[in-house]
Structure 1
Amino acid sequence: MAESFIFGALRRGRSVQQFLGPCGSAARPGVRYVEVRVTKGPFEVYLHVVEDVGSESFLDLIEFPPFDTGDEASEFGLLLGMADEPLAALQVAEQRVGAERGRWVNEGIVQDEYGDFVRAGRPTDVSPDGWRWPVIMRR
């Protein structure tokens, strides 16, 4: 999604999301995605880490259980930061979880990217279109 479309979606009150790939282990797989959410105040940036329980017929990441079941906050995502402007919110995601400016999609489309990931055999090193999965730094 082009930067102007990202900003347009956010200004219209629509969230943008980005699929960040797999996490966990072969015994306990998970997936991650980041979201810039519109609120009445500042934009909020959330990291979602969920169990990879999907299939080609079940792609709704919002319905997947949180990866860390012992953390109530993980059910709604981990708040990475807040920003008053859309550009600053994207920068929070880039700095905190390695999001790429050109890889944002409209809310809900992240499920399609997850579907591509599933159909490609859940590659661990690069996305189905050749983009290297980001390494998320723990703070």
Structure 2
Amino acid sequence: MRYLAEPFALGALRRGRAIEQFLGPAGSPEHPGVRYVEVVPVSTHYEIFLHTLEDVGHETFADLVEFPPLDPDNEEEEFGLLLATRDDPHAALETAEEATGAVRGKWVNAGLAQDEYHDYLSAGRPRKTDPHGHPWPPFPS
């Protein structure tokens, strides 16, 4: 099973393990990109990062952490945009979901968002819905 049920997502965070979620396309057809959100345990708190990356992947290259930022001139996005910091893992999940449109039942362990990206590639990079027919989360405001 790829997705983490809420107790497992919270448990991963409490054990110091990051979780993430692929959010779909970003940018424009002329300059395509993808987005994913990450919740990272750091010492006594949890940081929420939004990664907006240039879509340079293909069937044999889907490692999102290796993709360059969609806007290379924005130094804040070089390693992801820090959206918020929370003291509690549940609050971190809620904040990440409110800020990015992430869905509670679609969190995965760190490094597995690339599997979601691979599904996106296999489906032909759909712009309106994910490979399962669900609408992509809206861009944050």
TM-score class, shorter: over 0.9
**Residues of 2 paired with 1:45 and 1:29: CA distance?**
23
Partner letter of residue 14 of structure 1?
Answer: R
How many residues align? The count is 138
| Match for residue 73 of structure 2 among 63, 70, 73 | 70
1:26 aligned onto 2:35: no
Report the TM-score when normalising by structure 1.
0.97
**Residues of 1 paired with 2:94 and 2:47: CA distance?**
12
**Deviations 1:50-88, CA, capped at 9 Å, x for gaps:** 000000100000000001111112011011101111110
User: Match of 1:113, SS?
Assistant: helix
Identity %: 55
**Deviations 1:86-115, CA, capped at 9 Å, x for gaps:** 110011111111111001000001000000
User: Match of 2:42, SS?
Assistant: coil
1:15 aligned onto 2:18: yes
CA RMSD of aligned residues (A): 0.8
Alignment match, 1:61: 64
**Residues of 2 paired with 1:57 and 1:109: CA distance?**
15
Output aligned runs, 1:1-139, within 5 Å.
1-138=4-141
**Residues of 2 paired with 1:50 and 1:95: CA distance?**
20
Structure 1 unaligned residues grouped into runs of 5+: none
**Residues of 1 paired with 2:12 and 2:135: CA distance?**
26
**Residues of 2 paired with 1:9 and 1:42: CA distance?**
14
Structure 2 unaligned residues grouped into runs of 5+: none
1:41 deviates by 2.8
**Residues of 2 paired with 1:112 and 1:73: CA distance?**
26
**Residues of 2 paired with 1:43 and 1:56: CA distance?**
33
Structure 1 residue runs of 4+, over 6 Å off? Answer: none
**Residues of 2 paired with 1:3 and 1:134: CA distance?**
19
